[in-house]
Amino acid sequence: MPPIEILSLLISAILLAGLYATMSYGLALIYGVMKIVNLSHAGFMMLGAYAAFVLISPVYGLEINPFIPPLIIVPAFFFVGMGLQRFIVRRVVGQPMITSLLLLFGLWLIIQNIAYVLFTADTRTITIPWLLQPIRFDELRISTNRTVVFAIGAITLLLLQLFMSRTMLGKAIRATATDPAAAALVGVDTERVQMISFGLGIALAGLAGALMSLVYSFDPDWGRSHLLKSFSIVVLGGLESFVGVALGSIVLALVETFSVPLGVPIALQDLMSFALLVIVLVVMPGGIMGLLQRRT
Amino acid sequence: MKKILASPQFWIILVIIATTASVPFTASAYQSLIFFTFIYISLASAWNLIGGYGGQISFGHSAFYGLGAYTTAILSLGTAGLPPIHPLITIPIAGIVAAIFAIVIGYPTLRLRGPYFSIATIGVGEATRLIMLNANFTGGASGLNLHVPEDIKSYAMQYYYIGLVWMIVVMFISWMVKRSRFGLGLFAINMDTDAAETLGVNTARSKIMALMLSAFLVGVCGSLYAQQIFYVESNEVFGFRYSISMVLMATIGGVGTLWGPVLGAIIYFPINDRLSTLKPIELFGQSLELTRLNLLIFGLLLIAIILGEPRGLAGIGERIWRKVRRRS
Amino acid sequence: MKKISVLTRIIYIGVAAILLAACATPAPTTAPVAPTSAPAATSAPAATSAPAATAVPQGPKEIVMGAALPLTGGQAREGGFFKKAYEMAVKEINDSGGVMVKEYNRKIPVKLIIYDDKSETTTSVTLYEKLATEDKVDVFLGGYSTALVQAHAVIPQKYQIPYVNGGGATGSIYAQGNKWIFGLLASIEKLSITFADWIEAQQDAGALPKPVKLAMAAENTSHGVEFAKGINDRAKAKPDRFTIVMDEKFEINGKDYAPLIAKVKAANADVFFADARIADYTLMHRQYTEAGLSHKVVSYGPRGPESAARSALGAASDYIIGANWWSPDLSDASSKEFVAKYKAYAKEDPDGYYAALGYETARVMFKAIEAAGTLDKTKVRDALAATKLSPSLVVGGTVSFQANGQINNPYIMTQNKPGNKVDIIYPKDLATGSAVVPIPKK
């Protein structure tokens, strides 16, 4: 394969990793802090996509610049998430995982239905012409919209990491994630931390949806297949860290992208991610981060 | 034996069974609905063995279901180089194939604890779906069409009773397991695996056996499904939908109890079915088509049950019973 | 332990009793049956034209037609179009009094029941059974999407109720010897044959090389499999005309087609064929365009002219060729009439073939009942088999079924033209423009 093609695929893989990581942060955060698997993550991604659609698409007449919606959606979803945690999710923290799982699954169903009623089942796409023009370096062509998503995803990762390591709240969140009892002992208001974490997780889901709406078509059913993949990524990365999510995304994206030129039929591309998931779990349950931490 | 005959529970169950058995003659319109309810009850109870009793929450049980369905389809059609076999004979074979697969995936994954196991099962379920979707002998994406018998109606009645009998068998096995040492070991593993190990429970073996048994039962259900619908297709029978429905039913009803999955299956299947066919209601002068809200209603129902009584309907039953006792 | 079991068992009985009671009440309709005052008005003259003295039976109050469509889930968009089309057809026939049934010497209005199968196979089957057993429909109207139709096709056979659909196209549906199902969509195999024939015509005209190099990517469903098989069969039969340089299947709901596109690029083909549903078509073609690919002919199977895709792809969708069972741009009188009616009813243009075929499906059923002169299911079934509905908006102008129940009418081929236009390029007598082959490079 000519080197330019390999480079092109490599860039595709990295950009794909950016998409994957963006859609998995929220899931990782909520699981890390509250040990809850947020099945409604897919629903909030879908809502984020529709929110962006309403703001950007000419259909509703608002036609805002595509960089603005995330700034609106993130805070809005943050408060929605906090409210959900305060009134509903809080009741099931600490109970067997299955309880929260099903609660959030029920929530997902409700969100889907609301979307069907508000937006009908039509497939929607956001078309911004300059985003569809590739960036060109000679022969090399790079997808613009994916680069935008990658860039915003990378910035998000950076901000999250800074938040987690530099701010008091961030440290409180990490403490609660590591050991809630110990955190409470040193004076962390675990209830408040959980509320904020959930809110942040939902906000990240909404952000993911808003960004991915630039790349993918969506309808109220959208998000399901992304959710399953996110599980794989979060586990690959080590279930409890953002950097882990990023690493997991890169590994998965590379495997999926390069398996094809290496002979794997395209139909089995998805199989790669699930096979990888099972293998990683069996061989190193701590995921990539676990592997790295064991070394140090 | 006398004790069983004397107990009122036995007679209540007998009455229920007699009523259900008479359905093809008294209320044949609901025959199919109730047949599928039998299947769902069996699925939920079978899942409950490993998921409820054993506490190993599996999200990949559709793999067993699909294997059972495809085994029957392939064997009865005579593809894959083997001569055609009568569908009824394929039923136990379907269960065995599923059980063997359980051993294959059980050894590596059952070593994992808690959520790791669950996520691994998602991976297994989806991987199985994708492999079967692309394999040649499964008919690939086109699926397989089973032979439709000439007289479908009497065939359906025959299978109604097969389904009824099977459900009773599954419930019986579930009851036996619960009372046995094996079941006790599972409950111990559920509460604290390490403690169970120190107490002498061979945790690895118990978990595998529970998974195998569960897989066998689910595989047979898959086989019955194939013989009722006459069409198997990877995305459907190996789909995540069946996996999550088994988890849902057992949990709504109450994991780890005998009757929980039964209640859960009844809520999940017939009620969901009815939700699709509700009358529009008049609200504020506007006709509101409730079927457009079937997802919402089911979601609210789920949330209400989970918030109201996390131990499911069986837990609600228990609370009501305690209140009744206190008053008397 | 024992006491809890007793109570839960009592709850079991209670819940079961409540459910059976709820089930016992007749299952009501969900779809608003275009309430018109017409039926009431026209059954009055029916009463006078059938004087009490004659032995003509009064007949049922209404003809019950039922369908289960995906109104939520992955196929919801298309299912919604079918629902609107059925409702429009039923409203139309009821406005004229109903379907004329000779046995009762009067027009009987139609009651339409539509359930949501949530795009789920088992649900689709149980709902059709419910329509048969509880709602006691006289006839079925079809569902949408091959997988669902393939699964529930056994129900018309089981209860011996006639069934017509405009939503399932793969030939295997009709290869099971089921005498009770009929379909208005020509098989996918015919789709690939149409394409292959068209390519040969282009080769003869010198627009495409001989042999032509084909890169093919089909979705991994029975639809895609049949499509790929058709093209492969033709390539085997005429190796001097066709060389297949790539033959891949892909999973639906793809996240990234870059590796696929890379493979297409490496294959160096003249023609790129894909068989994809709208979301995948949009994503794939976006990435195709981003990668700067071009071929002499590009097609996504039955896709191409959908307005959603054109607005999503912009100029990138120009010159894409599609083959379809119907197009809103057809100029025959029946098609034009349908487009006008649908626009007035649904307040939007018909997008794709779905609504048109749904409407025609209902019409075929009405005509079959009329031809049979009775609601006897076997006679209606026989009338369906003998259908010769003309004029009709299906390509070819007449609806008639082969022995296996499937129609065998030709496809039309379309090509997107710049400026959001679409031209029908085949067959010649329906063409609104000529094909631009090879596609101009951008």
Could you read off the pLDDT of A108-126 as tens digits, one per residue?
989 998 998 888 888 888 8
φ/ψ (deg, to 5) at C55: -90, 15
In this prediction, residues C377-405 reach a mean pLDDT of 93
Predicted local distance difference test score (pLDDT) of residue A5? 85
Q: Name chain C contacts of B279, Cβ cutoff 8 Å.
A: 28-30
The pLDDT value recorded for residue B293 is 75
Query: What stretches of C373-425 show up as alpha helix (H) in DSSP?
Result: 377-385
- Per the CB < 8 Å rule, is A92 touching B306? yes
Per residue in C414-429, pLDDT (tens digit) is 999 998 888 999 888 8
Question: What is the spatial distance between Cα B289 and Cα C395, in angstroms, rounded to a whole number?
Answer: 36
- Helix pair angle (B114-134, B240-253), 10° resolution: 140
A and C: number of Cβ contacts within 8 A: 122
- pLDDT of C395 above 80: yes
Please report where in the chains the tokens 């408060």 appear, as a residue: A79
Structure confidence at residue B282 (pLDDT): 54
Interface of B with C in 112-171 (CB under 8 A): 130, 133-134, 140-143, 145, 148, 152-153, 156
Give the minimum alpha-carbon distance from A277 to chain B in angstroms, rounded to a whole number: 6
Question: Measured between CA atoms, how close is B46 to chain A, in angstroms?
Answer: 17
Q: Which amino acid is at A191?
A: E
Comparing B79-88, B100-109, B203-212, C357-366, which segment has the lowest mean pLDDT? B79-88
Tell me the pLDDT tens digit for each residue of A245-285: 888 899 889 988 998 888 888 888 888 888 888 888 888 76
Q: What is the pLDDT, as a whole number, of residue C26?
A: 38
Query: What length is written for chain A?
Result: 296
- The pLDDT value given to residue B3: 67
Residues 62-101, chain B: which have Cβ within 8 Å of C? none
User: Which residue do the tokens 């997008």 mark?
Assistant: C351
How high is the pLDDT of residue B13? 80
Q: Is B230 on the interface with C (CB under 8 A)?
A: yes
Structure tokens at C152: 């529930």
Q: Which residue has the tokens 């007998």?
A: B14
**Across residues A145-157, what is the average pLDDT?**
89
Is B300 in the A-facing interface, judged by CB distances under 8 Å?
yes
CA nearest to A246, candidates A187, A289, A293: A289
DSSP state of C27: P
In the predicted model, what is the mean pLDDT of chain B? 85
Model confidence at B301, pLDDT cuts 50, 70, 90, reads confident
Radius of gyration of chain A, Cα coordinates, nearest whole angstrom? 19
Q: A154: distance to nearest CA of chain B, Å?
A: 27
Structure tokens at B192: 């604290």
B221 touches chain C (CB under 8 A): no
Collect all residues of chain A within an 8 Å Cβ-Cβ radius of residue C283: 215-217
The pLDDT of residue B177 is: 93
pLDDT exceeds cutoff 70 at B5: no
Query: Measured between alpha carbons, how far is residue A199 from residues A79, A84, A242, B85 in Å?
Result: 6, 8, 16, 57
Cβ count near B171 (within 10 Å): 18
Mark out the alpha helices in C96-164 (DSSP H runs): 121-133, 146-152, 154-159
The DSSP H or E segment spanning C199 is helix C188-204
Per-residue confidence (pLDDT) for residue A97, from 0 to 100: 74
Contacts of B287 in chain C (CB under 8 A): 32
Whether ipTM tops 0.90, in short, is no
Q: What part of A 162-221 touches C (C-beta under 8 Å)?
A: 215-221
Q: How far apart are CA C419 and CA C437, in angstroms?
A: 18
Lowest mean pLDDT segment, chosen from A11-25, B253-267, C407-421: B253-267
- The mean pLDDT of chain C is 85
Q: Would you state the pLDDT for residue C39?
A: 36
DSSP C427: S
Helix and strand totals (H; E) in chain C: 14, 14
User: Is some CB atom of chain B closer than 8 A to the CB atom of C275?
Assistant: no
Contact C287, C257 (CB under 8 A): yes
Alpha-carbon gap, residue C192 to A154, rounded angstroms: 45
3-state SS assignment for residue C67: strand
Quick check: A107 and B299 in contact, CB under 8 A?
Answer: yes
Report d(CA B234, CA B134) in Å as an integer. Answer: 9
The percent of residues in chain A predicted with pLDDT above 90, rounded, is: 25
Structure confidence at residue C19 as a pLDDT band (50, 70, 90): very low
Q: How far apart, in whole angstroms, are the C-alpha atoms of residue B294 and residue B282?
A: 17
Tokens of C64: 């019950």
Please, are residues C164 and B136 in contact by the beta-carbon 8 Å criterion?
A: no
CA dist A282 → B193, B197, C344 (Å): 18, 21, 60
- The token duo for C374 is 């009775």
Q: What is the pLDDT, as a whole number, of residue B166?
A: 95
The chain B residue lying nearest C76, using CA atoms, is B292
Give the separation between CA C53 and CA B185, rounded to whole angstroms.
80
DSSP for B93-124, written as a single string: HHHHHHHHHHHHHHHHHTTS-HHHHHHHHHHH
Does A125 contact chain C (CB < 8 Å)?
Answer: yes
d(CA A194, CA C385): 65
Confidence of residue A140 (pLDDT cuts 50, 70, 90): confident
pLDDT tens figures, C69-94: 998 888 888 999 999 999 999 999 99
CA nearest to B241 within chain C: C120
Chain mean position to CA B326: 35
Mean pLDDT of A12-21: 92
Count H helices, E strands: chain A? 13, 2
CA distance B111 to chain C (A): 31
Categorize the per-residue pLDDT at C43 as very low, low, confident or very high, splitting at 50, 70 and 90.
very low
Residues 17-76, chain C, touching B (beta carbon < 8 A) = 19-20, 22-24, 27-30, 32, 71-72
Distance from B278 to chain C by nearest Cα, in Å?
Answer: 7
> What pLDDT is recorded for position C18?
46
Separation CA C332–CA C288 (nearest Å): 35
SS3 A15: helix
Secondary structure of B119-179 as H, E, C letters: HHHHHHHHHHHHHHHHCCCCCHHHCEECCCCCCHHHHHHHHHHHHHHHHHHHHHHHHHHHH
- What pLDDT does residue A47 have? 95
Residue C36 has pLDDT above 70, yes or no: no
List, for residues C166-206, the tens digit of each pLDDT value: 999 988 899 988 999 999 999 999 999 999 999 999 999 99
Asked whether the bond before B115 is cis by omega within 30 degrees of 0, the reply is: no
Residue among B12, B277, B279 whose CB faces C13 most closely: B12
- Note if the pTM is more than 0.90: no
